Amino acid sequence: MIFLLAVFPLAAQLLYVSDNDEKLYRLNMEQCSYEFIVQMQIGGIFDITFHPNGKLYAVSWSSLYEVDTLTGGVSFVTDFGTTCSALTASGDGVIYAAASNGQLWSYNPIGNQTTFHGNIGYPAAGDLTFFDGNLYLAATDDRIVLVNIANPANSEVVIDANVPGNILGIVSYGQSCSNLNAYAITNNDSQILQIDFDNGELDFVCQLDIEVYGGASTYEFFAFSQVEVSDVSTVPSCDNEEGLIQVFASGGIGQLEYSYNGVDFQLSNTFFGMPSGVYTMAVRDEIGCVVEEETEIATLDSPEIESFSTTLPSCGNNNGVIEVNLNGGTGTVLYSILGSNLQTSPVFQNLAPGVYNITVQDSLGCEASSTLTLAAQPPPQITGISTLPSCGPDNGMATITAVNGLTPYQFSLDGNIYQSSNVFSGLEPGDYDFVLMDASGCIAEGDFTITPSPGISVSGLQVAPTSCGEANGILVVFAGGGTGNLEFSLDGVDYQSSTQFNGLAGGAYTLTVQDELGCTVQQSVQIPASTAPAVEVVEAIPATCDEANGILEVQASLGTGPYSFSLNGSSFQEVGLFEDLNAATYQVTVQDAAGCTGTANVLIEDHGPPDVLSIDVIEPTCGNANGQINIDAEGIGPLQYAINESGFQPSNEFANLPTGTYSVMVLDANECLVEKTVIVLETISAPPTAIDMGTDTTVCPNDGFVLDATNPEATS
């Protein structure tokens, strides 16, 4: 049985199946139904296929026939020499047949050529089909084999299924040009199964009530080669109307056509004069399958002359330069001036004054132009010469100023050796000629005169030394000569008009005297230094026993004697001895004969009486003189200890004491005495205990006994 299937958008696509009675049916996949078309007029038809020319072919045993789908009539085409049960056609019009012995044959109507390709290695069960550019065979034992046309022996099983009966029909058909499916049809209960090549599975679709021997769709060969777009290249437009789109595609059935709007198709894959924008490019083959690819023509970054950098012609020569500053452009940019030959450099040299039209062109042919007037560079002109007289041998100075010309300038006094500075220094009095040359070699000449300057003389210095070690020295300068008013400095940086310097520290100075022309003279000056008196401590004796008995003795150094001394701002005295002082910090001031003073802070320490920290008592017992006192004290050592005005001892322990009252005293090295509260020692009394053992009792080992002791004098 054979079915015919129609699918959108391939509106004319039909799927046929044939049965074992050579009847041809059209199949409706959506309803899983069929209708009879025609009885084919030959027996033993095993498979059918549609050719790209629209004709139906059938294989019966070893012979290939063309079938009239209206009458069922057949006409012989070729003989494969062996029984073939599988048939399909490729997109290029070649009919392939597979035999039950595994042989692969083909027939090309062009040239009427029959070709044996080799043995697949798997017997054909019922059908061949193309899918996704590959040839597949329905082999025996429910196997689907990927056929290697170039070398059939390398064919391999891709699906090994288990279905009722045998797979006698496999066919490709497309729901759209980009949505192709492959189906297998069994001969037993005529199941239609969708083939999942990716996962090697067969998925049930529906079931017919006829026994199918073969199947074919009118566009089955479409799966032989689908349209594929490999690339879409664009060239932007210089003026938004000259863009280019080129589509590179392959595959499909027959000749490909191209469109930029899905309506107007052309054979050329190149579109010229396209404005910038987004396009959906379409490629269509002869059976109407369309593949689309979106692309965009960008707005070109055309070259734009932003500005010019120029060097004006100078000195009457054709030595002008124009450099083009460009924005944008694609690839290599070429430059032209006054229509001359294009060059890659944006710099044009050796130009005379005049009007120039500059043109630029990038690698896409986009152009930009602009006009520039190149004026002559005015020659350099000297605008001023200032000179400073020579203050002595070879120290005159001249400064040259100029305008126009091409900077930077260079200057020379002899026309041979040039310098970049416009200042000539170290000049002796006399007349000078100079040359100014600009960057283009143009020159201007001039002259000047360096006159001698009267020298500066320092006639005397008056120095007042410092006093009391302070920065209070004074320097008075007596000077004359030079030009204009004189200024004075002790560091060569800060100048003053006054001849007197105050507040100077002792030390060496370099005096600089400068006139209005910058001429200077220097002289060394020494300001004598002085020192203030200083306090030196001879002895500081601490105050003891919380009394005002501290003593401080000081003496003076530095300054100028005789000295006098003061304590905490008291009246000055001639000697540095201070007595009867409390413990404290004192400020001692010394004053020398010049009235200069110096101070120092001196501490009189506090050596107070000893401190009794604790007294430990051990009471006498049993009426004996075995009591004990331990004293813990601190102070200026060594410390001595006594009780009840007994003699002092270095030990802080007193033993063999009877019951009584005691006065504890501690004496330090400064003979400061501290006496603590009287301590009363109490006696602990306990009469002796008598034990009456009674009658002798024998105690055996491991036996126990109890002693009953009594004390008739004890109290409870």
User: How large is the average pLDDT for residues 354-382?
Assistant: 90
Confidence band, pLDDT 50/70/90 cuts, at residue 182 = confident
User: How large is the average pLDDT for residues 571-582?
Assistant: 93
User: How large is the average pLDDT for residues 631-654?
Assistant: 88
Q: Are residues 159 and 19 in the same domain?
A: yes
Q: Is the pLDDT of residue 2 over 50?
A: no
Distance from C-alpha of 468 to C-alpha of 533, rounded to nearest angstrom: 8
DSSP string over 506-530 = SEEEEEEEE-TTS-EEEEEEEE---
Q: Are residues 96 and 236 in the same domain?
A: no
Higher confidence at residue 671 or residue 574? 574
CATH code where residue 103 lies: 2.120.10.80
Q: Is the pLDDT of residue 239 over 70?
A: no
Specify the number of domains making up the chain: 6
Distance from C-alpha of 36 to C-alpha of 210, rounded to nearest angstrom: 11
How many angstroms separate the Cα of 684 from the Cα of each of 141, 503, 618, 687?
125, 88, 11, 10
Both structure tokens of 536:
């030196």
Q: Are residues 33 and 111 in the same domain?
A: yes
Domain of 522?
A: 456-527
Q: Are residues 314 and 361 in the same domain?
A: yes
Confidence band, pLDDT 50/70/90 cuts, at residue 325 = very high
Q: Other C-beta atoms within 10 Å of 34: how many?
A: 23
pLDDT at residue 691, as a whole number: 46
Confidence band, pLDDT 50/70/90 cuts, at residue 159 = very high
Q: Are residues 184 and 52 in the same domain?
A: yes
Q: Is the pLDDT of residue 215 over 80?
A: no
Give a yes or no: residue 684 inside a domain: no
Q: Are residues 591 and 512 in the same domain?
A: no
Give a yes or no: residue 107 inside a domain: yes
User: How large is the average pLDDT for residues 691-714?
Assistant: 52
* Mean pLDDT score across all residues of the chain: 85
pLDDT at residue 108, as a whole number: 95
Distance from C-alpha of 452 to C-alpha of 242, rounded to nearest angstrom: 80
Q: Are residues 347 and 398 in the same domain?
A: no
Give a yes or no: residue 219 inside a domain: yes
Confidence band, pLDDT 50/70/90 cuts, at residue 1 = very low
Q: Are residues 239 and 347 in the same domain?
A: no
Give a yes or no: residue 574 inside a domain: yes
Angle at 454 between CA 452 and CA 457, to 5 degrees: 145
Q: Are residues 331 and 468 in the same domain?
A: no
Confidence band, pLDDT 50/70/90 cuts, at residue 67 = very high
Each residue's pLDDT tens digit, 247-271: 998 877 778 999 999 899 999 999 9
Q: Are residues 81 and 187 in the same domain?
A: yes
86 in Cβ contact with 126 (< 8 Å): yes
Which range (89-98, 227-236, 272-281, 510-519) has the least confidence?
A: 227-236
User: How large is the average pLDDT for residues 665-669?
Assistant: 87
User: How large is the average pLDDT for residues 226-255?
Assistant: 80
Confidence band, pLDDT 50/70/90 cuts, at residue 472 = very high
Q: Is the pLDDT of residue 7 over 50?
A: no
Q: Is the pLDDT of residue 12 over 50?
A: no
**Phi/psi at 223 (nearest 5 deg)?**
-70, -10
Both structure tokens of 590:
């010394």
Domain boundary among the residues 321, 347, 374 is at: 374
Domain boundary among the residues 548, 578, 607 is at: 607
Give a yes or no: residue 10 inside a domain: no
Q: Is the pLDDT of residue 672 over 50?
A: yes
pLDDT at residue 95, as a whole number: 94
Q: Is the pLDDT of residue 48 over 70?
A: yes
pLDDT at residue 273, as a whole number: 84
Higher confidence at residue 209 or residue 110? 110
Rg of the chain taking only CA atoms, in angstroms: 65
Listed ranges 182-186, 264-268, 690-694; the one with the highest mean pLDDT: 264-268
User: How large is the average pLDDT for residues 165-184?
Assistant: 75
Q: Are residues 290 and 309 in the same domain?
A: no
Give a yes or no: residue 487 inside a domain: yes
Cβ contacts of residue 430 below 8 Å, gap of 6+? 449, 450
CATH code where residue 405 lies: 2.60.40.1080
Distance from C-alpha of 449 to C-alpha of 458, rounded to nearest angstrom: 29
User: How large is the average pLDDT for residues 563-574?
Assistant: 94
Q: What percent of the chain has pLDDT over 90?
A: 42
205 in Cβ contact with 30 (< 8 Å): no
pTM value is: 0.41
pLDDT at residue 656, as a whole number: 87
- What residue type is 202 in one-letter code? L
Confidence band, pLDDT 50/70/90 cuts, at residue 714 = very low
Confidence band, pLDDT 50/70/90 cuts, at residue 175 = low
Domain boundary among the residues 374, 399, 419 is at: 374
Residue with tokens 């306990």: 686
Distance from C-alpha of 27 to C-alpha of 39, rounded to nearest angstrom: 15
pLDDT at residue 174, as a whole number: 64
Q: Are residues 188 and 91 in the same domain?
A: yes
User: How large is the average pLDDT for residues 415-438?
Assistant: 92
pLDDT at residue 428, as a whole number: 87
Q: Is the pLDDT of residue 630 over 60?
A: yes
- What residue type is 227 in one-letter code? V
Q: Is the pLDDT of residue 5 over 50?
A: no
pLDDT at residue 222, as a whole number: 61
Distance from C-alpha of 138 to C-alpha of 374, rounded to nearest angstrom: 85
Q: Is the pLDDT of residue 703 over 70?
A: no
Q: Is the pLDDT of residue 10 over 70?
A: no
Distance from C-alpha of 194 to C-alpha of 171, rounded to nearest angstrom: 10
Q: State the number of CA atoms in the 13 A half-sphere of 217 facing the CB.
A: 31
Both structure tokens of 524:
């060394």
Give a yes or no: residue 673 inside a domain: no
Which range (78-87, 565-574, 631-640) has the least confidence?
A: 631-640
Q: Is the pLDDT of residue 151 over 90?
A: yes
User: How large is the average pLDDT for residues 158-172?
Assistant: 82
Strand partners, 645: none
User: How large is the average pLDDT for residues 384-401?
Assistant: 82
Confidence band, pLDDT 50/70/90 cuts, at residue 393 = low
Residue with tokens 């416009």: 422
Q: Is the pLDDT of residue 96 over 90?
A: yes
Give a yes or no: residue 554 inside a domain: yes
